[in-house]
Structure 1
Amino acid sequence: MNPSKESSTPLQDWTEEKSPMGHPAPPPYQDAPYPEMPPPGPGYPPQQGFSPQYDDPAHGHQPYPMAQQYPAQPDTVTVQPTVFVSAGPLTNPVNDYLGYSIFTLLCCFWPVGAVALSYSISTRKANQAGDQVMAERTSRMARTLNHVAVGLGIVFLIIWCCIKFL
């Protein structure tokens, strides 16, 4: 607040244009927006025509007890212990095809065998975490990739034999 400035004059950088966001700019701050109104005090002044008590029998109102005491609250707070629920390993684990993946990695088509090995490891982790759905999904993918790697390995072996011996 600057008492030397007139409160109703806009700031020097105030314009009526819209801001870049598409909204109108806010109005300038005014010290006293309504000079005819008195400043707010600590409470409302008593109103004419209303009694300070709310005991109007004509309207069926009950008298309001002004000094009502509330019951004492306990000083202690009870906190419930935190319970962490974690799933244990599956009782019937899904086949992870780890040996099959290592075989296809070393003896067949190694790029597909490496991906199959990663799915086999994911299946093993899902079995340990107790996630049946994820274990089944990654197990099927590992098996499919292992079959593809064996098929590609056989095709490349046949092509190599044909080139070598013909």
Structure 2
Amino acid sequence: MQNQSSDNIQYYKTGGDNHAGPQGTRPQYKTGHSMQYKSASGQIYSIPPPQGVMVTQPSAVAPDTSNYINWMYPAIFVTLFCFWPTGLVAVLYATWARKAMKGGDFAGAASYSRKVKIFVIISLAMGILVIISIILLFVLARSSNYKRY
């Protein structure tokens, strides 16, 4: 079939009531009728009607929530017991992740969840370093030869 935009194609309906349709408009398919297209050069193209056309709509796909992990409880734990500055940032991101998940923004929730994980790990590592430093200071202070007055 030739390009419809370059040729001035006239549409004709055959079978039943033989009459020419208006130029530039598409006639409706009817059962048992074929379509003929006449180009400006005079060539006639015939297209059979569609047979057994089945139209389906896509099914609803469940959202991928596998990347979202609720890190709120670990964030609260590291805020209270490890290192509170980065722990508060983790709690903030965990709150945003929960709101994004409830709002249906699953990609945003997964992104916030990854950030919470990073801040929880940083807080935990900082807390462990601070605790080890304090223990070492007490041990070194007790073992040194300084006198208390």
- Give TM-score scaled by structure 2 length: 0.49
* Greater fraction strand: 2
Which has a greater percent of helix? Answer: 2
- Structure possessing the higher radius of gyration over alpha carbons: 1
Structure-1-length-normalised TM-score? 0.44
